[in-house]
Amino acid sequence: MVLAQTLKSKLGSLFLSIVIFLNAGIALSHAQGEEPAMGELKLEGKHIQQLVLQSKDGKRERFDKPRESITLPAGEYRLREVHLEGGYVSRVRIVPDDWVTADKDKPAVLKVGAPLKQTVKAQRQRNLLVLNYELLGVGGESYTHRDRSKPPQFTVYKGTKKITTRKFEYG
């Protein structure tokens, strides 16, 4: 009789442990099976063929021909690479505080892409005038063209008289 009661008590405890374990397992599987919260990035720029973002944990997200906004797992991202129509490419230099947050409750804005703006900075180095050319996107990102056989060029005039025409060097 004592043996039967002890056995019954042990089986009851074992059964209760199994039920608790199974319930915990079900709760765990529900938590693992949930979809991650999604966030939205609105793109303020045009003519993007491909956009590559990097999350805080180092994972890269690639978007081919994104529209005005993209949906991705909520979190912090930085711009890594942009390809535009016409062969223009920007491989973005990493800046420590250049993160944008994709939040499920509030869309973030990412300025990237066209229209592009040509800039030339002139510096005097002794008796030389050094011209630095950059092609900038709406977010300030610098672009180059994949085809390096036709670099940008400039012409110097004195009044209406053409003095010289030269090409900028890449790099």
d(CA 53, CA 43): 12
Across the chain, mean pLDDT equals 82
Q: What integer is the mean pLDDT of 61-78?
A: 94
The pTM (predicted TM-score) of the whole model is: 0.70
Query: Distance between CA atoms of 99 and 34, rounded to whole angstroms?
Result: 26
Q: Where are the domains of the chain?
A: 1-34, 38-110, 117-167
pLDDT digits (tens, 9 = 90+) for 84-115: 999 999 988 766 678 999 988 888 999 999 99
Written as six digits, the tokens of 129 are: 């005038």
> For residues 39 and 72, is the Cβ–Cβ distance under 8 A?
yes
Query: At residue 31, does pLDDT exceed 90?
Result: no
Query: Could you tell me how far CA 98 lies from the centroid of its own chain?
Result: 10
> CB–CB of 49/64 below 8 Å?
yes
